[in-house]
Each structure stands twice: as structure tokens, then as C-alpha cells.
Chains A and B, each alone.
Chain A
Amino acid sequence: MATYTADVFQNEFLPDGSAEVHAVVTVACTGAGQAGQSGAGDAAEIILIDTSGSMDMPSAKMIAARRAAHVALDEIHDGTLFAVVAGNTGAQMIYPLQPSMVRMDAAHRTAAQQYVAAVRSGGATTIGRWLDTVRELFNTVPAAQRHAILLTDGKQEHETPAELDRAIAAATGVFQCDCRGVGENWVVDQLRKISNALLGTVDLIATPDQMEADFEAIIKRSMSRGVADARLRVWAPAGSEVIFVRQVAPTVEDLSDRAVQMSPLIREYPTGSWADESRDYHVAVRVPPAPVGSERLAARVEMVVNDQVMAKGLVRAVWSVDTDLTTRINPAVAHYTGQAELADAIQQGLAARKEGDERTATVLLGKAAKIAHDGGNEATTRLLSKVVDIEDPDTGTVRLKREVATLDEMALDTSSTKTVRVRREEPK
């Protein structure tokens, strides 16, 4: 049985007349067990591999994809419902042969691996249609926890953006999807849109030989998620406004758009399935100001599994005229505010660079270099330094490089949302 804890980090003291309350809530899950074993229902896993013609240029990509799928099948636990799908101009079943899902056992694993080894490439990249096929497959089984891996090397070209958006909207809430791009011809924004909506991750596989290890890690993680579906429930008082709810660690993701209004004062945010892990959420609420000296509950943040409250964190507001108290900024809130700005600065800076707006790109990437340096994001600083020459990280003075490898730029883009954790003081 999984247990959750929630710790709140905030400065609850507000100056007179102020109304904005910020808090970082760390939610940790232990004893999650394994996917499909927690009694909540079956787990289902689909491996979706791009087999369009470009995967054979060079052929190392297709060879690596076959090996990666082979390893992924090894990692899927017996008893898990699974299927392997090839994506090209449409989507074809690799295993089982009919559009359905089967329960993993030794015989199915061997058979599936043989069919995977025989996959050949050819055709176009139509990610929207692939997502539709995966959704229909998942809908044939009553599984509680549905997860897919999407591997592609190209961008959506034979469908309109509207078709992809519709497919993403249809898949939202049906399954979770981790997206991986191999090579340099795919579009980070496109896959990020999918992984954001489908509660997954997006990452770059720079060279085909890294694919095997990556697939193994994704399936292992998926199989360790014993909590099928958890939601973050946020209560805020009457007359207040939830400004945003953002996941800030391990990655930055704005959850505000995912809110489901449960009652006038309660919203729920789907967070997908959980393994033994911890995630940080930044909650910002505007509450009606109260007189100095009074105290209010500004938000109640709960983790909910199957309508049961697993953990609760209280965000408070106390109005005071003591500037020593009200001017303090909680280190966790400050750190994660910076991390969210960092992700924005990198993504917008790279977009400006692509459009040839060097001035904006220099300012934004300079800001990113400063925040990454201040926040101790060494990995991000390293990736940034391949795109810009960092002259002074303290002031954010950078110079755009003339020649930048596309892969370096994509690596920076995909990793922009990964955050480093703030150094922790003891929770109060």
C-alpha cells in the first residue's frame, strides 16, 4: 500500500494589504509497489516505433529501434497487457497481429521479439494517426494504468497541426506517453506538446546506440509505478483565485490548464501514475486581504488516490506589519520561481534565435545563463555553453555562437524543463 507525505515550504507572513501567497509543496510517495499489482487494476503498455522511411537513413536508427523494442519487451512484467505498434503512413500492428492487446508471458515475449526483429521501414510520419491507433488499442482493455512509449525521428508532415491537436486531445486522460526523438529532424515543440498533455516526458536520443538503455529505463520506471492514478486536490477559500499550480521538480510543467473544477472552491489536477518518488509543486493563490494580525488558510493541498486523501499540506497566510517577517522570501519558492523562469528563457531564447532575432535571443539566453549559474544547474550551464559563449555568468553576459550543432540546440531545448532541487532546510 502506497503512502504519501506532503511538506509545505512557504513564508506565511504577508504585509498589510498584500494578497498573494506562494508555497512549494513537496509530495513524496513510498511503497508504491509495481504496476498492475497494487489491486487498483491491470497495467497496459504499448511500444510505438516510428518505421517511416527516414528511420533507414542511416539504417543504424532502425537497427537500434528494433534492439530497443527487444529490450523493452524483456522489461515488461508478466501479466501486463501489451502491444507493439509500427508508425508510418498509418499505424500497423507488429504484435499481436490483430488490433488487440495480450497478456505478457514467456511465449508472447519471444514471439513479439521475433516479429520486432522482422520490422522493415517505409512510409511517412503521421503522429496524429499513431496516437489514435494507440488510444483505440488501450480502449479495448479495461486496464487502470495505460502507458505508451513513442519513438520518432521526424516531424509531422503529412497531417495538419489541427489533426495532431485533435489526436492529442482525444488521447488526454486515456493514456500516459513518454516521447523520444532520435536524430535531429524531429521538432522538440511537437513532442513536448504530446508529452505535456499525456503526462509523460520528452527527451532527445542523440545517437542510436543510446536508445536501448533509454527504453529499458522508461519501461522499468513505468513498471515501478504502482499507483495507477493520483490527483492533486487544491482547496482555496471563497473569494480567492488560484493564480497557478505548477509542478517544479523533477521538471517544470504548468498544471493550471489541467484543472478539473470539483466544486466552487476545489480543483483537481491529474498527476498520472506514481512510483516511489517525490515531486514538488508550486502553488500560488490570491486571497482576500485580511486585517493585520489575522490568519487564514490560503490553500489546502491534498494528494488523492481513488477519492481517498493520502496526504495533506496546509498553506497559511498571516498578515503582519513586521517587515523582518514579511520581507523574507522562502528559499524553495525563490529557487523554483527561478527554475520556471529558466525554462521560459531557454525556450523563448531558442525560438528567437531561430527567427533571427539575435537581440532578444542574446538577452533571454543570457538571463538563462545567469539563473542556471545561480541555481546550480550545472547540466543546463554545460548545454547552454554549446549554444552561447558565456562571458560572465554572474551578470548573464553571453554572446551567441555563430555555428551551433542542431543536436546541441535540441538537447538544450529538451532539458530546459529539468530542474535541480533546492537545498532543503527542515520542514516546520
Chain B
Amino acid sequence: MTTYTCPEGHQSADPEWCDTCGSPIGSPPPFPSTMPTATVGAAPSPSPTTTGAATGSTLACSHCGAANEPDALFCESCGFDFTTGQAPPVRTPVAPLPATAVQSGPTDFSVTVSVDATWYQLQGVDSNEPCPPASSITLPVHGTTVLIGRTSTERAVIPEVALNDDPGVSRRHAQLVQAPDGAWSAVDLGSMNGSYVIADGAPLTEPLLPIEVGEPVPLPAGGRVYVGAWSCIALIDNRVPPANPTAPLPPDPGATT
């Protein structure tokens, strides 16, 4: 009976998947575990030996299956990144930057995070926490995603918008995502209390429905995402000429704070 040897060295009767460990047979062994994992979009290692995964003369792409040069950093066919294992990048208008990178000069987009008293009245009063005084902060947006959540060092969750004081926010709560065409949308990542999107300048009124988990909802500039007990995140397009002021928060006659 024919047996096959899997990349881990097990003998397998199944020609495609190892009978013991489930590794694909005939594809390269896993990448060295010392590879960077946390920095999405980090520059690939300059050393071509990091891929050292080629069997024979070609390197099979684990994303699309195409054969590549053994020392390739990216798949020629689909653009799969062999170093980080990141799926083919969508055509990004700006070079991806590590989240922590400091970019000088204004960015195209920013988000204004504020304590919203109206939202607190609708959603947060049940939390038994007093609403903090009104405040807001504007953060520049680097790259094409903005994670909204609470910082957790144990789980290595470091959101760009860290709402660490809001008890109603999940660690990985929601994400703002920019599509290749530049349009933004908001995605709920399976949060406990849901995310609520008001895409236009409409005021906050009941009834409100949370957005579907995992379903991107279009978020044009000026749109707001409400999460947790009192947090409001508004997307601002800095390229808009000053004629249209950047404050996307609607006039809110009901709020007295």
C-alpha cells in the first residue's frame, strides 16, 4: 500500500491530508514560528531564507495553490504574503502602516470619540454607572481599519479606539473598514451589547436596532457609531473643504450636559 510522508514526518495512507496531524501533503511545511505575528502589514523580512519552505523547485501558495519561485515573498498569482500569511491585499491607496506608526501631517480621515449623554439616556442608564462628563477627542486614522474595543493585554487586543472606561464595550467590539474604493463601513465583531449606526446626520431616536454581526454597514463621512453605555464614534473626512465643517455631531437640543 502506498504511503505518503507529510511535512511533519508522519506516514499517511491518504494522499491529500496527513492521517495523523491533518497537514496538507505535498505542500510546504509551516513557516518558522519565529515569524512576526502581531504587526499586520509589517515590512517582510529581507532575508529570503525565512520562507525556507520550498519543496523541490517551487513553492505552492497555500491560498490559491499556484506554484511560485522558492524564494518568493508574495504569490505571483494572488498576492498571498508568504511571510505573514496574510491573504491577498486589496489594492490599498496608501501604504499600510503599523498601527502604532506616527505619521506626520494630517490624515485623510479621523474619528471623533465622545461621551454622548443622549445615547446614555437611551442605552446606558441600565449599566448602573454614572455618565461621565461630556468630552471628546479626535484621533487620526492611519491605514484602512479602525478597531473599536477595550485594551486587553492578556488577549493582545490593542484597539485604535480604546474605550477602556465604558463598561458596555466588548474587547473586540466593532471595526471600521475602508474598502479599496475609499468607502468606509462599520462591522460589529460579535459584541455583547451590539453596535448602532446612524449613517446620515439624523438625530438619535428610538427605536434603534443593532447592526448585524459580521455584516458591513456603509458609514459615510459624518456617520456615527454608538457603542457601550455612552460612547459615540464619528467618522470625519479631513479632505472636505472647510465650507463643510468637520463637526459631524448633530445639534442635540435634548442634551443638557
Contacts and interface: CB of A to CB of B under 8 A. Distances in A.
A392 to B, nearest CB: 9
A235 B85 CA distance: 27
Given A16-B37, A318-B62, A320-B85, A295 B24 contact: yes
Interface string A227-241: 000000001111110
Contact of B21 (A296, A314, A319): A296
A191 to B, nearest CB: 37
Interface in A314-347: 314, 317-325, 327-329, 334
B255 interface: no
A296 B209 CA distance: 39
A320 B86 contact: yes
B37 A321 contact: yes
Interface in B163-222: 172, 175, 177, 187, 189-190, 207, 209, 213-214
Interface in B1-50: 17-24, 27, 30-33, 35, 37, 40
A290 B30 contact: yes
Nearest to A290: B30
A292 B31 contact: yes
Contacts of A58: none
B20 A238 contact: yes
B85 A292 contact: yes
Nearest to A314: B17
Nearest to A298: B22
Secondary structure of the B side of the interface?
A: loop
Contacts of A239: 21
Nearest to A235: B19
A140 interface: no
A295 B27 contact: yes
Question: Which of A236, A265, A296, A334 has the largest number of chain B CB atoms within 10 A?
Answer: A296
B214 A293 contact: no
B214 A328 contact: yes
B contact residues, range: 20 to 34
A323 B145 contact: yes
Contacts of A290: 30
Given A294-B31, A295-B62, A321 B85 contact: yes
A238 B21 contact: yes
Contacts of A298: 22
A189 B199 CA distance: 49
A239 B37 CA distance: 23
Contacts of A323: 40, 145, 147, 175
A292 B87 contact: no
Given A16-B37, A327-B187, A327-B214, A293 B24 contact: no
9 contacts: A237-B20, A291-B30, A292-B85, A294-B30, A294-B85, A295-B23, A296-B22, A300-B17, A320-B86
Interface of A: 13, 16, 235-240, 265, 287, 290-298, 300, 314, 317-325, 327-329, 334, 394
Interface of B: 17-24, 27, 30-33, 35, 37, 40, 62, 82, 84-87, 145, 147, 172, 175, 177, 187, 189-190, 207, 209, 213-214
Given A294-B31, A321-B84, 13 more contacts: A237-B20, A240-B22, A265-B20, A291-B35, A293-B82, A319-B85, A321-B86, A322-B87, A323-B40, A323-B145, A329-B190, A329-B214, A334-B213
